[in-house]
Amino acid sequence: MKISAQWNYPTDIRLGRGRIEELAKICRELTMTNPLLVTDRGLVSLAITRTAREILRDGGLEHQIFAEVDPNPTERNVEAGLKVFREGRHDGVVALGGGSAMDLGKCLAFMGGQSQPLWHFALGGDGWKDADPSGIHPIVALPTTAGTGAEVGYACVITNLETRVKTPIFHPRLMPSVVICDPELTVGMPRTITAGTGLDAFSHCLEAYCSPLYHPMAKGIALEGMRLIKEFLPRAYRDPVDLEARINMMSASIMGAVAREKGLGAIHAVSHPINALFNTHHGTTNAVLMPMVLAFNRKAIDKKIDRLASYLGLSGGFDGFCDFITGFRETLGISQNLTELGVPADQIDVLVPLVLSDPAAATNPVRLTEENVGDLLRSCF
Binding site for its own copies (CB under 8 A): 3-5, 7-10, 15, 154, 172, 213-225, 228, 248, 251-252, 254-255, 258, 261, 307, 310-311, 313
Q: How far is CA 358 from CA 53, 215, 230, 262, 351, in A?
A: 40, 21, 28, 16, 11
Give the torsion sign (CA, 329, 333, 336, 341): negative
Cβ at position 173, least distance to its own copies in Å? 12
- Decide whether 14 or 63 has the Cβ nearer to its own copies: 14
Do 273 and 285 meet the contact criterion of CB atoms below 8 Å apart?
Answer: no
- Decide whether 306 or 319 has the Cβ nearer to its own copies: 306
- Decide whether 44 or 136 has the Cβ nearer to its own copies: 136
Cβ at position 163, least distance to its own copies in Å? 27
**One-letter amino acid of 19:** R
Residues 110 and 13: their CA atoms lie apart, in Å, by 20
Residues 174 and 103: their CA atoms lie apart, in Å, by 9
Residues 213 and 74: their CA atoms lie apart, in Å, by 32
Cβ at position 143, least distance to its own copies in Å? 16
Cβ at position 223, least distance to its own copies in Å? 5
Cβ at position 160, least distance to its own copies in Å? 25
Three-class DSSP category at 306: helix
Cβ at position 21, least distance to its own copies in Å? 19
Three-class DSSP category at 155: strand
| Residue 74 backbone zone (phi > 0: left; psi -120 to 50: alpha; other: beta) | beta
- Decide whether 165 or 311 has the Cβ nearer to its own copies: 311
**Orientation angle between helical segments 75-87 and 99-111, nearest 10 degrees:** 50
- Decide whether 154 or 237 has the Cβ nearer to its own copies: 154
- Decide whether 197 or 285 has the Cβ nearer to its own copies: 197
Cβ at position 216, least distance to its own copies in Å? 5
Cβ at position 299, least distance to its own copies in Å? 19
Do 348 and 370 meet the contact criterion of CB atoms below 8 Å apart?
Answer: no
- Decide whether 159 or 177 has the Cβ nearer to its own copies: 177
Q: Please name the residues in contact with 238: beta carbons below 8 A apart, sequence gap of 6 or more.
A: none
Residues 161 and 77: their CA atoms lie apart, in Å, by 11
- Decide whether 92 or 263 has the Cβ nearer to its own copies: 263
Cβ at position 241, least distance to its own copies in Å? 20
Q: Where are the alpha helices (DSSP H) in 30-98?
A: 47-58, 75-87
φ, ψ dihedrals at 139, nearest 5°: -125, 135
Give the torsion sign (CA, 343, 291, 330, 97): negative
Q: Looking at the DSSP assignment, which residues form a beta bridge with residue 308?
A: none
- Decide whether 52 or 221 has the Cβ nearer to its own copies: 221
Label the pairing between strands 12-16 and 36-38: unpaired
Query: In 10 A of CB 25, how many CB atoms?
Result: 12
